[in-house]
Amino acid sequence: MKEMEIAVLPGDGIGPEVMDEAIKVLDVIQKKYKVKFNYKKALVGGSAYDEFGTHLPESTLQICKESDAILFGSVGGPVKEQNTKKWNGVEVNSLLGLRKEFNLYANLRPSKLYPALADSCSLRKDISEKGFDLLVVRELTGGIYFGQPKGRKYEGDDEIAFDTMVYSRKEIKRIAKVAFEVARKRRKKVTSIDKANVLTTMILWRQVVEEVAKEYPDVEYEPMYVDNAAMQLTKNPQQFDVILAGNMFGDIISDESAAIAGSLGMLPSASLAKGKFGMYEPSGGSAYDIAGLGIANPIAQILSGAMMLKYSFDMEEAGKEIEIAVEKLLNDGFRTKDIWQKGNIEINTKEVGDKIVEYLR
Ligand code: NAD
């Protein structure tokens, strides 16, 4: 029987509550598909700080290194306590720490508006009722966020601050290939976001993406300036399948895509390294305002598990089955509080897990 090692890092706030539901769902999958998931739980974030005095303890890193994938919850404390010793720097230390350690260079953020949730969407009704299903592939370890030199110089009115946007041919090629490969498993279209009309880095970006596109004649390729992309997302999100972007543009575009899809509790994400290793986590945070109440929406965490099956374990069909079960749950009118609307049936975190398990069986 095929065995997979999974590092399970529930983290803080609603993390442990929603993680329990994701594991419940994965347990059904392992039985159904006759594979074995060996879960290894470890502390990260504030909960790790309480025990070890650090947000990313060596023992947690070790467990991750010995695993085939990391299933991550979320980290961070209540908004009012951000500057306390326990919470200060928690996201940078945990998330960026893991990204750096495992060279997680490709961030995949699907954004799907289920027609059943059209009313929770901020877009105009005639646009939202068509639903949309897109995936942002964002380069995560390069670009202007990490380029050198960066700094501040001079004083008074002469003071300047600067960052460097830099991409190598190698980095662009690597992320573009991820986008085209993923598109092959979807609707076979890549829209590459750049600013090639103004930025030299983006001229190289466009050139290299065009070269990679030629290796994928079965995938439609289209370049788009980032300002236009931001507008097109609100006017006609249905036109997008895979959106490819560098670190900064991808940061903004993926948040915009998430925002137009409605609740944060619905959206998973994946950060992939070379090969099959990846870290899978909900797009939202630790939602301390509702932690412990049993009302958090576990769908993002459950779908993060589905992404793990697809991208790290080659279990495409199992991942798809989970997605279909989620869609069925919504079509049947079951909702957690965050996406509940008049006429729906309100259920809690655990009941969502139970229902999805029921559909899968
Ligand atoms: P948040 O995403 O935790 O919450 C924003 C709003 O969305 C809240 O009203 C929350 O209740 C709601 N929400 C989020 N996920 C939900 C879910 N699954 N079900 C129902 N409602 C949900 O963002 P925030 O409040 O700005 O941040 C809280 C903490 O999380 C902060 O410490 C922040 O730094 C941290 N954070 C962590 C991550 C991460 O771990 N990747 C990401 C974002 C924020």
Of 105, 112, 167, 195, the active-site residue reads 195
- Residue 13 C-alpha to ligand 1 middle, in angstroms? 9
Give which of 132, 136, 138 is closest to 236, Cα–Cα: 132
For residue 78, give the ligand 1 atom closest to its CA: 32
195 and 285, same domain (yes or no): no
Exactly one of 39, 41, 119, 145 is catalytic; name it: 145
Catalytic annotation on 355?
no
What's the confidence (pLDDT) of residue 192? Answer: 98
Q: What is the CB neighbour count within 10 angstroms for residue 342?
A: 5
Give the span between the Cα atoms of 318 and 327, in whole angstroms.
14
Residue 75 CA, closest ligand 1 atom number: 40
Strand partners, 220: 189
Q: What is the pLDDT of residue 320?
A: 95
- Those residues of the chain that have pLDDT short of 70 are none
Distance CA 69, CA 16 (A): 18
Atom of ligand 1 at shortest distance to CA of 18? 18
Are residues 147 and 241 located together in one domain of the fold?
A: yes
Identify whether 33 is a catalytic site residue: no
The DSSP secondary-structure symbol of 245 reads E
**Closest protein CA for atom 8 of ligand 1:** 287
Ligand 1 site, CB within 6 A: 14, 18, 74-77, 79, 91, 95, 264-265, 281, 284-290, 296-297, 300, 338
Do residue 316 and residue 290 come from a single domain? yes
Task: Give me the pLDDT at residue 228, please.
Answer: 98
pLDDT at 57: 97
Is the domain of 132 the same as that of 255? Answer: yes
φ, ψ at 181 (rounded to 5°): -65, -45
Q: What is the β-pairing status of strands 268-272 and 278-282? A: antiparallel
Q: How far is CA 325 from the centre of its chain?
A: 20
Q: Give the pLDDT of residue 129.
A: 87
List, in sequence order, the alpha helices (H) in the chain: 15-32, 46-52, 58-65, 90-91, 97-101, 125-128, 169-184, 200-214, 226-235, 247-260, 299-311, 316-331, 349-360
Whether 185 and 316 have beta carbons less than 8 Å apart is answered as: yes
Contact 318, 309 (CB under 8 A): yes
Q: What is the CATH number of the domain that holds 192?
A: 3.40.718.10
Confirm whether 115 is domain-assigned. Answer: no
Residue 175 sits in the same domain as residue 98: no
Residue nearest to atom 34 of ligand 1 (CA): 76
Please state the domain count of the chain: 2
The whole domain housing 135 covers 122-260
Same domain? For 128 and 229 the reply is: yes
Environment class of residue 231 by beta-carbon count within 10 Å: exposed (0-12), middle (13-18) or buried (19+)?
A: exposed
Respond yes or no: is residue 20 known to be catalytic.
no
pLDDT value for 121: 85
Please choose from 70, 263, 286 the residue to mutate so as to test ligand 1's pocket, defined by most ligand atoms within 8 A of CB: 286
Please give the model's pTM, rounded to 2 decimal places.
0.92
Measured over all CA atoms, what is the biggest interatomic distance in the chain, rounded to whole angstroms? 68
Same-domain check for residues 133 and 239:
yes
How many C-beta neighbours within 10 Å does residue 92 have? Answer: 10
Same domain, 235 and 280: no
